[in-house]
């Protein structure tokens, strides 16, 4: 994963996309001359501009932009070069993105959701957006369609859609690659992934604010990535480009950082209650310690930031912790053990404890409940 500006030129059309006159599934011509999985085309100057039409495919014009097409394509164009955007899914992610993108000055002209209440809420928050029940309906309105639906729902939604030439389709999944969108493609269309590393909640304003400064992971067709990086930066976020095939590992790390942290906090609050603290008190006391630990890791590195009984080789303290956990929070024992064994590996890498000290800690962690 790298910051976008460390990668290929963005916003210039460098790289490759699909050939507007080619067949779906032909090889993509990369700058180094290799052939990939998608159709090839010479690079254009506009991220959403297809290669010159040909091969018997029809054409239509919007200003100076000529599209190849097989079917009529009455989409709208945004001002100042920004493509018109449509969102599929009006839950926490789709709604927050719609609001943020609109406020950034990109035209959000359509939303699709089968939940009538969510559709109407989106329209109130994003004035001017047309609302539809079916995902495919927005394709007559937009140039860039964003799927903000659960991972398991993406294949079915994609099967219901068919892009026009010159359109792009991206999803917001942290796990799936852009190839899951392949069934919706047509000649001259492009696909990608746009994953904000944000914990989205039902609080729209809080979620919109969280996008600013967040990382947004990009993956997909080379010619589309420049446009997606521009969108990320328009939102005040930091775009990073993921290597193909890396998303499961990237997303697992994200889940540990978010859901995993919440699970850890839940165990901390449970133990804090035994010390007379309510949830707010535990978060105030231990949250401060967590913030200090994160600051240390950023400043001196993860391994050097490790402190505590395992770093000191204090096996007796570990045994006392486990006894307290068995009595007060037995369902947190495995969580403690998993973290402790990871800590022990870090200590072994330091080579600061004797073999005897390491063995005593290892024995404490191995004792049956």
Secondary structure in 3-state letters for 250-271: HHHHHHHHCHHHHHHHHHHHHH
Query: Is the per-residue pLDDT at 7 higher than 70?
Result: no
Query: Is the per-residue pLDDT at 103 higher than 60?
Result: yes
pLDDT tens-digit series, residues 15-56 = 333 333 333 232 222 223 333 333 333 333 333 433 333 333
Strand residue runs (E) in the chain: 2-3, 58-62, 65-69, 85-88, 108-112, 130-132, 144-147, 168-171, 190-196, 215-220, 238-241
2-254 homologous superfamily: NAD(P)-binding Rossmann-like Domain (3.40.50.720)
pLDDT of 187 reads: 86
pLDDT tens-digit series, residues 124-166 = 999 999 999 999 999 999 999 999 999 999 999 999 999 999 9
Angle (CA) 77-139-57 rounded to 5° is 85
Has this prediction a pTM greater than 0.95?
Answer: no
CA distance 17 to 36: 11
Percent above pLDDT 90 for the chain: 75
pLDDT of 33 reads: 33
Q: What is the average pLDDT score of the chain?
A: 82
Q: How confident is the model at residue 245 (pLDDT cuts 50, 70, 90)?
A: confident
First to last CA, the chain: 41
CA distance 102 to 98: 6
Give the least confident one: 28-32, 51-55, 93-97, 112-116: 28-32
CA distance 158 to 136: 9
Taking the CB of residue 244, how many other CB atoms lie within 10 A of it? 12
pLDDT tens-digit series, residues 62-87 = 333 323 333 334 444 444 579 999 99
Scan for tokens 């600051």, then name that residue: 295
């Amino acid at each position: 994963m790298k910051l976008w500006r460390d990668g290929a030129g963005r916003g210039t059309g460098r790289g490759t996309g699909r050939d507007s006159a080619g067949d779906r599934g032909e090889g993509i011509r990369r700058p180094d001359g290799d052939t990939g999985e998608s159709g090839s085309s010479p690079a254009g100057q506009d991220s959403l501009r297809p290669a010159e039409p040909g091969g018997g495919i029809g054409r239509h014009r919007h200003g100076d932009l000529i599209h190849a097409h097989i079917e009529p394509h009455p989409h709208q164009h945004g001002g100042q070069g920004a493509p018109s955007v449509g969102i599929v899914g009006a839950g926490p992610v789709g709604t927050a993105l719609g609001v943020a993108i609109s406020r950034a000055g990109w035209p959000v002209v359509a939303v699709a959701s089968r939940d009538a209440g969510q559709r109407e809420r989106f329209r109130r928050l994003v004035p001017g957006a047309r609302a539809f029940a079916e995902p495919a309906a927005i394709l007559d309105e937009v140039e860039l369609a964003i799927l903000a639906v659960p991972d398991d729902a993406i294949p079915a939604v994609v099967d219901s859609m068919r892009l026009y030439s010159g359109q792009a389709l991206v999803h917001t999944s942290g796990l799936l690659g852009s190839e899951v969108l392949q069934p919706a493609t047509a000649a001259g269309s492009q696909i990608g992934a746009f994953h904000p590393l944000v914990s989205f909640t039902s609080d729209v304003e809080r979620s919109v604010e969280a996008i600013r400064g967040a990382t947004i992971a990009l993956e997909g067709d080379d010619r589309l990535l420049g446009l997606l990086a521009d969108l990320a930066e328009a939102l005040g976020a930091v775009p990073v480009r993921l290597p193909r095939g890396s998303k499961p590992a990237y997303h697992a790390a994200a889940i540990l950082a978010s859901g995993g942290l919440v699970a850890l906090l839940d165990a901390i609050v449970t133990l804090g209650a035994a010390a007379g603290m309510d949830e707010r008190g535990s978060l105030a006391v231990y949250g401060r310690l967590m913030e200090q630990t994160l600051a240390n890791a950023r400043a001196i590195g993860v391994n050097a930031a490790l402190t505590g009984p395992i770093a000191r080789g204090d096996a007796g303290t570990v045994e006392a912790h486990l006894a307290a956990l068995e009595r007060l929070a037995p369902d947190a024992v495995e969580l403690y053990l998993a973290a402790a064994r990871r800590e022990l590996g870090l200590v072994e890498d330091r080579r600061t404890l004797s073999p005897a000290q390491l063995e005593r800690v290892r024995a404490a962690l191995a004792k049956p409940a």
